[in-house]
Amino acid sequence: MNLTSKDISEDFPNSGKIYLNNASVSIMPLQSIEAMKDFLVSYNKMGPDSIDSKPFIDEKLRNTRKVISKIINCQPEEVILTQSTTDGINLVANGLTFEKNSNIIIRGFSHEHHANFYPWLRLKNKTEIKNLSIDKNGFFNFDEFKTLLDKNTKLVAVSHALYNTGSILPVEKIGSLLENNSLFFIDTAQTIGCIGNFDVAKTKCDFMSFNGSKWLCGPMGTGLFYCNKKSHELLEPLTIGGESAMLYDNTNLAFKDIPDKFQTGFRNYVGIVGLESSVNYLLKFGMENIRTKNLLLSNLLREELSKIKNIILYGPENAQERTSIVSFNLEGYDPQIIVEKLEKQNIVLAVREILEQKIIRASPHFFNTESEILKVIDAIKNL
């Protein structure tokens, strides 16, 4: 059976709502919720701080790193378990040392998501922040990029896909220009889990951050930070503890190797177990199948929206240049009022912004169905 046409909606808890806000927080598969419950029962039965608990927890952490390394194609030790995408961004922004006259290049300034803008902007007293100008979809000109790039460019930081327009940026091309020159950070919160197969090595990035609760369908409070093994010594950890460092000569400290170097204290173990289960579910469905299904749903939504009078669509026309995010407005209507009216009809969308312009954002995922998309269109027509 063609998996892209299979209805898997029953595998996800639902009370009759049409949930199209997966670019914010996704719904978890029922199997992941059960896995979390089973973990908590087992963990408490054995005693959370017993002799048996440490190997039990260590195995869960290894399994999760292994499955994450599989979907981004890296070594398991290069996967650091965090709480959010924002955690990983701040590990880089606050962990680097900036030399005199250094600079950072970012894209679009306030067009960027706050999490991938504010941490860099905060560094303006330490280093120059250069801005790449953008077009209406958030893309930039590579000629301008090459002009901004110089011998003092410490880091280039971009999002792989944009939270507002869904545009997918050419990170592999950026990485090829930066190789052996400047450090490269990518925010992949809007791509890992929804755009098909991904190979972090092809991007040539040093650092990458994403989370478990968007397109990976994991629980809140789970984040992932990829740190290239060759680059980890460039970062000073934000926190330190017995898990991340060791004492020698009574008064001197040395950091452990990655991933331990960036992990202090207890982790969100139950969340990590749920994340592992969700990623295994995605892998079973197939990452390329997910991409195909997402494009089918988003293309249908864009096509049907375009038939409605006074609809304004945002984002690239070319489906290969965007995720399943569909951003739009209905001329003469307040986006917030529309989203609130639709939620009363059990349809969940979101209000976001493109610069100063408020927009309505729909973000279907592979568990959504074509019939749901058509019901959303009918509801919008009847507003």
Please provide the DSSP assignment of 300-319 as one string.
Answer: HHHHHHTTSTTEEEES-SSG
User: Which DSSP letter does residue 214 get?
Assistant: S
Structure confidence at residue 166 (pLDDT)? 97
Q: In whole angstroms, what is the distance from residue 323 CA to residue 364 CA?
A: 10
When computed from its CA atoms, the radius of gyration of the chain, rounded to whole angstroms, is 22
Q: What domains can you pick out in the chain, each with its CATH number?
A: 3-20+286-381 (3.90.1150.10), 31-283 (3.40.640.10)
Structure confidence at residue 1 (pLDDT)? 53
How far CA 294 is from CA of 67, 69, 72, 298, in Å, comes to 22, 23, 19, 6
| Residue ranges of the chain whose pLDDT lies below 70 | 1
How far CA 352 is from CA of 125, 236, 310, 325, in Å, comes to 30, 34, 19, 11
* Encoded tokens for 9: 């909606």
- Count CA atoms within 13 Å of residue 162 on its CB side: 31
Structure confidence at residue 284 (pLDDT)? 97
First to last CA, the chain: 38
* Encoded tokens for 227: 């740190």
Q: What share of the chain is helix, strand, coil (3-state, %, to 5)?
A: 40, 20, 40
- Residue 157, Cα to own-chain centre: how many angstroms? 14
Q: Each residue of 89-107: pLDDT tens digit?
A: 999 999 999 999 999 999 9
Structure confidence at residue 332 (pLDDT)? 92
How far CA 144 is from CA of 34, 105, 132, 139, 149, in Å, comes to 50, 11, 7, 12, 9
Structure confidence at residue 7 (pLDDT)? 87
Structure confidence at residue 298 (pLDDT)? 98
* Encoded tokens for 61: 């952490």
Asked if 78 contacts 221 with a C-beta cutoff of 8 angstroms, the reply is no
User: Which DSSP letter does residue 109 get?
Assistant: G
Residue 72 CB contacts under 8 Å (≥ 6 apart), including other chains = 79, 192, 198, 199, 200, 208, 226
Helical spans, DSSP H, in the chain:
30-46, 53-72, 85-93, 118-121, 142-148, 171-178, 200-203, 269-285, 287-305, 335-344, 370-381
Q: Which of 295, 323, 340, 26 is nearest to 163 (CA)?
A: 323
Q: In whole angstroms, what is the distance from residue 195 CA to residue 289 CA?
A: 9
Structure confidence at residue 303 (pLDDT)? 98
Name beta bridge partners: 210: 224
Q: Which of 264, 282, 288, 248 is nearest to 367 (CA)?
A: 282
Residue 74 CB contacts under 8 Å (≥ 6 apart), including other chains = 200, 201, 226
Q: Each residue of 123-135: pLDDT tens digit?
A: 999 999 999 999 9
Count the residues in the chain: 383
Asked if 339 contacts 24 with a C-beta cutoff of 8 angstroms, the reply is no
Structure confidence at residue 207 (pLDDT)? 98
Q: Which long-range contacts (CB under 8 A, 24 or more apart) does 50-57 make?
A: 57/269
